[in-house]
């Protein structure tokens, strides 16, 4: 990664500069001591992805958000959502935090609720992995998996979460999709970290979006600090409307198909995303076939054990690198690891059921270790 403590490193070219310090750590460096779970959120490393960087001629970096203490990028939003409610006097000691979540935000909230003494209640679509549901319950959260229905249906998991919070005293619905404290987390932390880690040399940023907080917050910060120079591409899975919305200038919301990815894609423009959607330079639609192939490739080439949404982000970074050209510095997010999805992603039977087995190159089939 780029590092101000290593400025003595030879900078003969962008590519040499990037590679020569991507694994460097100053002599005698030790991690800082932090205050509890909250203090461990953020300040994640920026990993240079050597395989796809070599293939594109660009420098592709990925922010290791799976290294947050709760295991995902959503720890950042969860912390800001709770601290925002505390600052506004909406949440007092012993209170209850309620959220509708596809999984990782709920996990972050459950961790932080334990650390700060709150109760946690989670509503989620019953399409999510059993691993996420089990983990939430292990963390002490009440979990209500409910049928997955459209947002305009009153039985949508978000609306059920809101009604639950309204029925309790000293309780908040954190409203991760439309509460812009989510976006603010990335304006104040993720964006500045990327800028500092690349010493301002980032040329492009891309990632997928569910709530819109990560993509919008980082995009806003990088656009502002660079004077608009940094390009920002939204990555979208099948079944989401955002690709068509951006490509059409906001006139279309077409969706087709479905995706194996969890927690990303959207049927509407959330309040978090709406704040900055005018800043988006382009959008990429990424197929499940490309995502699953990249997931196995990252494991094989980089030793990175990652989820499908993260693999989609890396495919988007690869395609953005092709668009911006050799020598460009591209950054994306590694949302979470594969630990919560392993029973699916590395199962031959599951891959066959999704018609994805043939997408995995023969030399990578050795990682399909589950029946």
Query: pLDDT confidence of 107, banded at 50, 70, 90?
Result: very high
Q: What is the pLDDT of residues 76-90, one digit of tens each?
A: 999 999 999 999 999
Mean pLDDT of the chain: 91
Collect contacts of 243-251 with beta carbons under 8 A, ≥24 apart.
243/283, 243/284, 243/285, 245/269, 246/277, 246/280, 246/282, 246/283, 247/283, 250/277
Please name the residues in contact with 205: beta carbons below 8 A apart, sequence gap of 6 or more: 194, 218, 219, 222, 230, 231, 232, 233, 330, 331, 332
* pLDDT value for 25: 57
Between strands 119-125 and 142-146, the pairing is parallel
* pLDDT value for 6: 32
* pLDDT value for 27: 66
Query: pLDDT confidence of 9, banded at 50, 70, 90?
Result: very low
Question: How far is residue 149's CA from residue 198's CA, in Å, rounded to a whole number?
Answer: 41
For the ranges 20-29, 164-173, 251-260, 274-283, the lowest mean pLDDT is seen at 20-29
Query: pLDDT confidence of 28, banded at 50, 70, 90?
Result: low
Unique residue bearing structure tokens 């709530």: 211
- On the question of pLDDT at 7 being above 80, the answer is no
* pLDDT value for 22: 46
**Tokens found for residue 47:** 């990993």
CB-hemisphere CA count at 13 Å for 148?
9
Which segments of the chain does DSSP mark as H helices, in order? 14-21, 36-39, 50-56, 74-87, 104-116, 130-138, 157-166, 181-185, 191-197, 213-225, 242-247, 271-274, 288-302, 308-324, 342-345, 348-353
- On whether the CB atoms of residues 91 and 82 are closer than 8 A, the answer is yes
Q: What is the pLDDT of residues 353-362, one digit of tens each?
A: 999 999 999 9
The mean per-residue pLDDT over the stretch 310-319 comes to 98
* SS3 of residue 202 by DSSP: coil
Q: Which tops the pLDDT comparison, 65 or 28?
A: 65
Question: Active-site residue numbers?
Answer: 74
Unique residue bearing structure tokens 């608009």: 228
Q: What is the pLDDT of residues 197-231, one digit of tens each?
A: 999 999 999 999 999 999 999 999 999 999 999 99
């Amino acid at each position: 990664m780029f590092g101000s403590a290593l400025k003595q490193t030879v900078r003969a070219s962008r590519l040499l500069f990037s590679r020569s310090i991507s694994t460097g750590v100053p002599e005698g460096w030790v991690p800082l001591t932090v205050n509890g779970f909250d203090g461990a959120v953020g300040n994640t490393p920026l990993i240079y992805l050597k395989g796809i960087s070599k293939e594109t001629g660009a420098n592709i970096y990925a922010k290791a958000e799976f290294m947050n203490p709760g295991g995902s990028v959503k720890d950042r939003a969860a912390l800001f959502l709770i601290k925002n409610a505390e600052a506004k006097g909406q949440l007092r000691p012993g209170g209850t935090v309620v959220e509708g979540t596809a999984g990782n935000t709920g996990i972050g909230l459950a961790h932080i609720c334990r650390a700060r003494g709150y109760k946690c209640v989670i509503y989620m679509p019953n399409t999510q992995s059993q691993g996420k549901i089990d983990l939430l319950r292990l963390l002490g959260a009440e979990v209500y998996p409910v049928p997955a229905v459209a947002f305009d249906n009153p039985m949508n998991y978000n609306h059920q979460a809101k009604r639950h919070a309204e029925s309790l005293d000293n309780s908040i619905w954190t409203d991760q999709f439309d509460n812009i404290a989510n976006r603010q987390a990335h304006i104040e932390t993720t964006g500045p970290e990327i800028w500092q880690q690349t010493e301002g040399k980032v040329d492009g940023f891309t990632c997928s979006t569910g709530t819109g907080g990560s993509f919008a917050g980082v995009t806003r910060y990088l656009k502002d600090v660079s004077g608009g120079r940094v390009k920002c591409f939204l990555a979208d899975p099948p079944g989401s409307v955002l690709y068509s919305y951006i490509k059409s200038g906001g006139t279309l919301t077409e969706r087709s198909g479905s995706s194996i990815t969890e927690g990303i894609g959207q049927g509407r423009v959330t309040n978090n995303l709406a704040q900055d959607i005018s800043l988006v330079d382009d959008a990429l639609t990424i197929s499940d076939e490309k995502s699953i192939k990249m997931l196995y490739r990252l494991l094989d080439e980089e030793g990175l054990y990652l989820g499908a949404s993260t693999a989609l982000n890396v495919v988007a970074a690869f395609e953005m690198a092709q668009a911006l050209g050799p020598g460009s510095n591209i950054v994306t997010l590694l949302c979470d690891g594969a630990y919560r999805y392993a029973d699916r992603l590395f199962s031959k039977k599951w891959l066959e059921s999704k018609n994805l087995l043939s997408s995995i190159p023969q030399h990578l089939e050795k990682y399909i270790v589950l029946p």
